[in-house]
Amino acid sequence: MDTRILGRVDYAPTYAAMQAFTTARTVDTPDELWICEHPPVFTQGLAGQADHVLVPGDIPVVATNRGGQVTYHGPGQVVAYPLIDLKRAGYFVKEYVYRVEEAVIKTLAHFGVTGHRVAGAPGIYVRLDDPTSHALLPQRPQKSTAGTATPDFTGLGKIAALGIKVSRNCTYHGVALNVAMNLEPYSRINPCGYAGLKTVDLSTIGVSVDWADAAHVLSQKLVTYLAP
């Protein structure tokens, strides 16, 4: 997989470039991983409801074709866009999501933080009272609750958001890991459609790491965990 570090790039042209890449690719096109950060922007997924955007103010809202609801991108966040042919990779969408989340969990572990999954709510979360705790969450995904759980965010903050699109077995959009951001814009939306869901970044839970280091670790983990 070819990794491209794009730096800070506007959201709309990056989204258009992902679509163009995916439309033009053939069975022989190498997979790519794009790593970037965006100027402040709210992006609305296909399931997005306008009333989850509370007071956007001066931050633009862009409609997209990814799954999920509204989220925020801004400086200090590592955004990763894996452009992968799942048919060639040999796994399905559900496993793809699991692998992306696992790469984030391993990235957080590298910085001494324990990431958690929550049943019914894609993305990665941390314990607000003890971000290093390895204790299993009662609200973690379990076979007995598959597909039935109402997400329970008690005591948790969301540190990474996931939103994907699969077209002709090829992925685009991806995952965003909060490193050292201005988190205020999250108060202007219901993040991922959940009112009052607390959003955190590495800096607010006491981990000081610069964007380039976090981007390097996340890209390495994604390349490893998304391998065929």
Catalytic entry in 183, 192, 200, 214: 192
Strand residues in the chain grouped as ranges (E): 2-8, 32-37, 41-44, 61-63, 71-73, 77-83, 116-118, 121-127, 156-167, 170-178
Does the active-site annotation cover 192?
yes
C-alpha closest to that of 119 among 137, 94, 100, 93: 137
DSSP state of 136: P
**Measured between alpha carbons, how far is 178 from 107 in angstroms, rounded to an integer?**
12
Question: Distance between CA atoms of 22 and 86, rounded to whole angstroms?
Answer: 12
d(CA 77, CA 106): 17
- Give the residue numbers annotated as catalytic, written as ranges: 192
